[in-house]
Structure 1
Amino acid sequence: MEGARQAEPAAPEAPAHLQRAWSAVNFSTLPFWIAMIVAPRSAPTRWLMERVAPLHAVLSVVYSVALLTAVARSGERVDFTRLASVSRAFRQPEAMLAGWTHYISFDLFVGGWIWRRALAEGRSARLALLLTWWAGPAGLGLFAARSRLPRWLG
């Protein structure tokens, strides 16, 4: 078929150790998100959230090692002002792991902040937390808008 777009070849499987790291990163934050969303005011959730710092430390190590490995293996300078350059960099499994770990870690950090603010203000943030878990900035935007809306309406 003329003008039809050629499908890109499937990405090769990542090495087993990177796949294990990917899975561990993904599942490591699950208990925190479930607790904040399902039982935000419970004692077990407070207990769990008081112990999130070591997870952030581990995620920062995973991120740093993956990023440094990607940079060392690439040998190519990434031009962060060019989408094509960043896209090429993310074709490396180590770079993708670093980027995903960055998302996971920052989303959890923002989710914890939203959770603490909502508790302090005595309001629910379940939808904002769910959105933050699944779509980061959308959840933060919803929480910020809901925080400002009463002031905007006067």
Structure 2
Amino acid sequence: MTMSADDWARAYQLINAAVVPGWALLIFLPRSKLTSALVHSMLYPALMGSIYVAGLGAGIFLGQSAEGAGFSSIDGVAAIFDHPNGIIIGWTHYLVFDLFVGAWIGRDAIRRNLPHLTVIPCLLGTFMFGPVGLLLYLLLRLLLRKKFSLQE
């Protein structure tokens, strides 16, 4: 089955849209049962992980990948992103892990009783820039709690 450029663009848009409710819940309803059930459970990682696995399988077994794609060299990794499926797989990877980290930030902030308004920029930073938001959150913990710990 061959997908058109429009099909790949739609897939990209759907995958992006799929995580927005999770982020909205973390930002606007951090302590709700709905947030707990949807975002703090393994639901999002399992659903998005399934998309990732399907794309990976299509790349490996159905030829939905660029010639020379692989992980053994920088050229091979670059070739992964020469095919729209590789872009979708890579982007899904980012979305899954960023939301997982955002959910951890949300839970950790609640456990530490940090003011939610101070956590929101960290969540937005994680949503948009991954590790930047996490580092911002770790700095926030240091500033608000006057001690630094890498322990959960």
| Corresponding residue of 1:66 | 55
> How far is the alpha carbon of 1:65 from its aligned partner?
1.5
The TM-score with structure 2 as length reference comes to 0.77
1:119 aligns with 2:110: yes
Give the Å deviation of 1:44. Answer: 4.4
Give per-residue Cα distances to partners, 1:46-100, cap 9 Å, x unaligned.
45435x5233212111101112222342453524441x33222201011110000
Extract unaligned runs of 5+ from structure 2.
Answer: none
Aligned pairs, number:
137
Task: Give, in angstroms, the shift of residue 111 of structure 1.
Answer: 0.5
Q: Which has the higher contact order (CA 8 A, sep 6+)?
A: 1
Higher Cα Rg, which structure: 1
Q: What amino acid is the match of 2:79?
A: R
Contact 1:62/1:101, CA 8 A, preserved across alignment: yes
Q: Identity of paired residues, percent?
A: 31
The whole-number CA distance in structure 2 between the counterparts of 1:79 and 1:99 is: 13
Preserved contact between residue 114 and residue 129 of structure 1 (Cα < 8 Å): yes
Could you say what the CA RMSD is over the residues aligned between the two structures, in angstroms?
Answer: 2.2
Residue 151 of structure 1 pairs with residue 150 of structure 2: no
